[in-house]
Amino acid sequence: MNSDSPSSSPAKASSTLAGNYFVSNYPPFSFWSENQKVEVEMALNSEPTPGTKLGVYHHIPFCRKRCHFCYFRVYTDKNAKEIQTYLDATIAELKSLAQRPLIRGRKPHFVYFGGGTPSYLSAKQLGELTDQMKAVLPWDEAEEVAFEGEPGTLNAAKLSAIKQVGVTRLSLGIENFDDHILEINGRAHRSGEVFTAFERARAEKFDQINIDLIAGMVEETEANWQRNIEQTIALRPDSVTIYQMEVPYNTTIFKEMKAQGKLVAPVADWQTKRRWVKEAFAALEAAGYTIASGYTAVLNPKRTKFLYRDELWSGADLLGLGVASFSHAAGVHYQNLTEMEPYLAAVAAGELPIKRAFRTSPEERMIREFILQMKLGRVRLGYFTAKFGVDIARRFATQLGHLEAEGLLAVGADAVTLSRDGLLCVDTLLHEFFLQQHRTSQIV
């Protein structure tokens, strides 16, 4: 059993064992199946629900090097021609989706380039890709275009191209400011590149620059973590996102643990990681930031939004393009094929390149939105009454009462509000709200 198992007490300290702690969707991926692929066809052939926002996620699965903690589908050996073949396939996929009744005539409200490393693309590839995407589904009504960048790939011309194509939110995967820790965790960039990339990004005047950090990388120390916080505050980004290091099964770190017969990952325990994030949040608040979720601090909450997260967590339709990408269409979750060759072959054959899917029931959609919004630290009860006709305080009275007694949240007349301690372990609290059949010891 790991620290994230439904029956473990969320507040207890524990070693970091292998597995995922981060809850990114509901029902869990392990319940999605190949048998439900037909549901995707039905969803795409249905009419959109009025008022439902549309987003596009484009997955760029290429990186300079594989980080030791990475569990994503990434390729480090593709040449320019292979990358172009992949990008062309994603455009073919978009064209085919855009003709479906669910999408036809709609414009994306938000666009997200994730990976992998979107900034691994050349300025030319990026310009051509986005021109083609816009020709299929115009972005003129998109309020946010978010883009993940790896500092070592961001030269001046690249950053200017990223700005030029319309990116509003640039997220820099810094993770740590210490070169030894970056190296030992397999990151491709070094701290010198962080400062140069940040300065150049500021000069381009992106609406929002986010910095990603990870608390508890291999060989992280108390003193170095404090330096990470100080350096982050000195840069004064618009937002800071801090993840607590997890060690999923398909990472290099886990493979090494297995080879050495170790059960505990060589990283700080959960209690230490939570304390580090708590200290970072406190320092960021003292520097004028506001805590906007269990992972994020923002400098100006009125101006700095993260639509991709907020719309997704409120039931938006999301078209995921590319290998292994995740989508949500009219209540149906699905994931694309996770290997490059089958993905390319399916698109070339004019088929939907889908690996697994799950049609959600109205109750599962309500639970999904509730648990995802819990990560924001505050869930408005009126939203659930209006959208689902559900009184959250009554529906989840037992679970909420239990968590309230532990001091992890408070149930008020209008909202459920998490305490700081509750927010820092929010992912471990969410399983209590899953339907019984979805409670498993392995959280994926």
Separation in Å, CA 234 to CA 150, 174, 215: 20, 14, 18
Nearer to ligand SF4, 63 or 307 (CB): 63
Site map 160..179 versus ligand SF4, x via CB under 6 A: -------------x------
Site map 115..154 versus ligand SF4, x via CB under 6 A: xxx--------------------------------x----
Nearest CA-CA partner of 214 in 16, 25, 430: 16
Q: Quote the least distance from Cβ 173 to ligand SF4, whole Å.
A: 6
Q: Quote the least distance from Cβ 119 to ligand SF4, whole Å.
A: 10
Based on the shown chain and the rule CB under 6 A, indicate whether residue 246 belongs to the binding site for ligand SF4.
no
Q: Quote the least distance from Cβ 397 to ligand SF4, whole Å.
A: 40
Residues 34-63 close enough to bind ligand SF4 by CB under 6 A? 63
Nearer to ligand SF4, 171 or 360 (CB): 171
Nearer to ligand SF4, 48 or 248 (CB): 248
Q: Quote the least distance from Cβ 66 to ligand SF4, whole Å.
A: 5
Q: How many residues sit close enough to ligand SF4 to count as binding (CB under 6 A)?
A: 11
The correct pick among 26, 32, 57, 72 for binding ligand SF4 (CB under 6 A) is 72
Q: Quote the least distance from Cβ 115 to ligand SF4, whole Å.
A: 5
Site map 76..115 versus ligand SF4, x via CB under 6 A: ---------------------------------------x
Q: Quote the least distance from Cβ 150 to ligand SF4, whole Å.
A: 5
Q: Would you call the peptide bond into 27 cis, given omega within 30 degrees of 0 as the criterion?
A: yes
Q: Quote the least distance from Cβ 164 to ligand SF4, whole Å.
A: 23
Using only C-alpha atoms, the chain has a radius of gyration, in whole angstroms, of 21
Q: Quote the least distance from Cβ 184 to ligand SF4, whole Å.
A: 14
Nearer to ligand SF4, 108 or 115 (CB): 115
Nearer to ligand SF4, 324 or 352 (CB): 324
Nearer to ligand SF4, 170 or 371 (CB): 170
Based on the shown chain and the rule CB under 6 A, indicate whether residue 70 belongs to the binding site for ligand SF4.
yes
The correct pick among 67, 162, 217, 429 for binding ligand SF4 (CB under 6 A) is 67
Nearer to ligand SF4, 72 or 206 (CB): 72
Q: Could you list the residues that contact ligand SF4 (CB under 6 A)?
A: 63, 66-67, 70, 72, 74, 115-117, 150, 173
